[in-house]
Amino acid sequence: MLEQNLMSRAENDEIAAILEVATVTQSQNRANVLTNGTPKEIADFHEKAASNGDVSSMLALANIYINVDENDVGREHDIEKAVYWAEMAAKTGDETAILVAMHIRISYATLCEIVTDFQGAVDSALMANNWLEKALSKGYDVNESKKKMMTISGILGKSYYYLGRYVESARYSFQTDDPMASMRLSIFMNDTDVPPKVTFSDTEKSIIINRLEKTLSNESVDIELKKSGYVILGWFYQLGMGTQQNTIVAYNCFVKARELGNKDATKTLAKHYKKTMFGVIKFK
């Protein structure tokens, strides 16, 4: 049931909407079963038809396995079977099936991410990207595709990070605008001990700082993230990493971090900064 609830928080609505507009060619027997049959009879019908290559039944079966009610259809909720049937349908080149496969793969990747199966998240997100590319080749809306690419990149950036594959994490983190992606990039830029070291061009460093500042100015961003973010930004300005060195801005960043409760910021201010008798901030 946990898995089913997590799926419902992902992309069930979009999947259902796509399936709702799918065209189904029905024989008289099919019409009778789908109109008058019990949920189990309908599921059984789709199982048999899907096994015989019927694309619309493959999609219906994928939907059944996502939204299954065990008492009605005699089947258990099974996201892996939903993925299987959606991709079997998509391999025929059917446009609706390709979209469904993409959405289900994103949902599966999100689920893997939630339960910390990061390799599973990477595998599923890469498949989602594959179906997205195929959807684009068939005329999928460019603006919608950008949104999906941002979602997929966010999953890949986070999952590669936890797998210790920092170069890949950085590459995908650049392609999404979520706050954690901004933090990951800032950590890579700030931490020269990250193995293997992730290197950035001056332009990329400037982009990272701009994104970090934008993230920190967002009122909805988590306070814990801001605590760390202001410290990182402070060192960027103090050391002149990716930006002009500016002790005053650096000092103010550490003060903001201290006000949010960051103890390291308090220590940094005490150890490295002092005010002169004229009120000038100096780094020591």
Report pLDDT digits (tens) over 191-228: 756 556 788 888 999 999 999 999 999 988 899 999 99
So what's the pLDDT on residue 25? 44
Count the domains in the chain: 2
DSSP state of 198: P
Return the higher-pLDDT residue of 251 and 194. 251
Q: 115 is in which domain, residue-wise?
A: 1-176
Instruction: Give the Cα separation of 87 and 169 in Å (integer).
Output: 26
The domain spanning residue 151 has which CATH number?
Answer: 1.25.40
Least confident of 122-131, 176-185, 194-203: 194-203
Given a contact cutoff of 8 angstroms between Cβ atoms, the answer to whether 58 and 85 are in contact is yes
b or e along 68-86 (b: 16 or more beta carbons within 10 Å of the residue's beta carbon)?
Answer: beeeebebebbbebbbbbb
Kindly report, residue by residue over 28-65, the tens digit of the pLDDT.
556 566 666 788 888 888 889 999 999 999 999 998 88
* pLDDT band at residue 15 under the 50/70/90 scheme: confident
Last residue of a domain, one of 130, 156, 176: 176
b or e along 239-261 (b: 16 or more beta carbons within 10 Å of the residue's beta carbon)?
Answer: eebbbeeebebbbbbbbbbbebe
92 and 32 fall within a common domain? yes
Considering the chain, what percentage of its residues have pLDDT values greater than 70? 84
Return the higher-pLDDT residue of 195 and 248. 248
158 and 191 fall within a common domain? no
Q: For residue 72, is pLDDT > 90?
A: no
Name the pairing type of β-strands 273-275 and 281-283: antiparallel
164 and 207 fall within a common domain? no
140 and 225 fall within a common domain? no
Return the higher-pLDDT residue of 182 and 7. 182
52 and 139 fall within a common domain? yes
171 and 246 fall within a common domain? no
Last residue of a domain, one of 176, 197, 232: 176
So what's the pLDDT on residue 37? 75
Q: Provide Rg for the chain, Cα atoms.
A: 25
139 and 207 fall within a common domain? no
Tokens of 132: 């997205």
Q: Residues 6 or more apart from 251 whose CB is under 8 A from it?
A: 234, 269, 273, 281
Q: Which of 200, 177, 176 is nearest to 188 (CA)?
A: 200
